[in-house]
Amino acid sequence: MKTNMYVYGIILAASSMALASTQIRTDASPDAATYRFVSWNIWGWGENVKYTPDKRDGKAIKAARAWNADVIALQEVSPNWWKSAFFKELAADYGVVDGGDWSGVKHNPNPLMYRKSRLELLFSGRECYHFKLDYSKGYTWAAFKDKSTGAKFITFSTHYWWKETGAESAYIRYVNSQRLIEGMERLRSILPAPVIGGGDFNCRTGTDALKILERHGYSDAQKAAATVIRDCTTWHDYPVKGADGVFRGAFPDKGNSLSNALDHVFADGCVKLLRHEVDAAADALDVSDHCPVIVDFSLKSCP
């Protein structure tokens, strides 16, 4: 393998399977000890959307409000998504973690959002996996404290190398995982707290890039959660813009199973994974070629 992949980064700071209806559970977290994490590639890259929300932000806002999430991990947040109504409309409830500027890039494609009424942001940062290869691929991380209980945990939003096929691309994603693992280990040396995070990994379960995460003690929620809702993939064809100017998306006719998911949520052994769900509601399908992944979790005692 050539060594000129420019794979490098900077740390910026010291199952039961069941089918269900497409109705997302919108109740608040079941109890004070349970949290909700959501990961969503919001589709901001590509000429077919010209890097703009293009009237999709209204449905994205509606979807986000329905989740009642504590943490939201986003990917593909283009500069025009940053300027859209999405963040403005949710600002009353959610703080934003952009991780700061680096290498002249002011906007962050992979930010985190958190419920301000419940969580206090302790510190945060971001890393690019391979700036010269693709600056949008990396991860944003944050450490939070529960304002009521004092419990702390670390979370991340990530986006891996995007070309799906070929040994070279598979290797780049494997190195992406190595960088993510190294980053989480550094953070845990500063704050020994549970870790949960997710994003668009651009690979399916069972691939080397995900196996290395499992070998380092991280569990994929789609396999490890106590309850798994909806056996469907997390990605589909790009939503199509109709004559009325509205985008509409749909699941593929073939391969619509969770085994084909490219979006995952991983957690270490200090996190109890309670529930995994793919948001298959129309609002989510129409916004992006990726479906949001919703995971409820609680925290264990962490050594």
User: Is the pLDDT confidence value at 222 over 60?
Assistant: yes
Between 84 and 72, the higher pLDDT residue: 72
Q: HSE (CB half, 13 Å, CA atoms) of 65? A: 14
Domain 16-22+35-299 has CATH 3.40.640.10: no
Model pLDDT, residue 92: 96
User: Is the pLDDT confidence value at 248 over 60?
Assistant: yes
Phi and psi torsions of 291, nearest 5°: -95, 145
User: Is the pLDDT confidence value at 192 over 90?
Assistant: yes
Helix (H) or strand (E) holding 87: helix 85-90
Tokens 């499992």, located at residue? 214
pLDDT in tens, 146-191: 999 999 999 999 999 888 778 889 889 999 999 999 999 999 999 9
CA quadruple 19, 241, 288, 207: dihedral sign = positive
Q: List the single range of 59-73, 91-105, 137-151, 220-234 with lowest mean pLDDT.
A: 91-105
Model pLDDT, residue 152: 96
Model pLDDT, residue 14: 32
Backbone angle region of 44, left / alpha / beta, with phi > 0 → left and psi within -120 to 50 → alpha: alpha
The total of other beta-carbon atoms located within 10 Å of residue 112's CB is 29
Stretch 205-215: mean pLDDT, rounded?
Answer: 93
Residues 222 and 230: beta-carbon distance below 8 Å = no
* C-alpha–C-alpha distance, residues 303 and 298, integer Å: 16
Q: Which of 82, 185, 180 is nearest to 140 (CA)?
A: 180
Residue 47 DSSP code: T
**What are the residue ranges of helices labelled H in 12-139?**
57-67, 79-82, 85-90
User: Is the pLDDT confidence value at 10 over 50?
Assistant: no
Q: List the single range of 80-94, 241-255, 273-287 with lowest mean pLDDT.
A: 241-255
Tokens 């794979």, located at residue? 7
Band (17; pLDDT cuts 50, 70, 90): very low
User: Is the pLDDT confidence value at 25 over 60?
Assistant: no
Model pLDDT, residue 255: 67
Q: Please state, rounded to an integer, the average pLDDT across all residues of the chain.
A: 84
The token pair at 77 is 């947040």
Q: Label residue 89 exposed, middle or buried (CB < 10 Å: 0-12, 13-18, 19+).
A: middle
Between 79 and 143, the higher pLDDT residue: 143
- Count the residues in the chain: 303
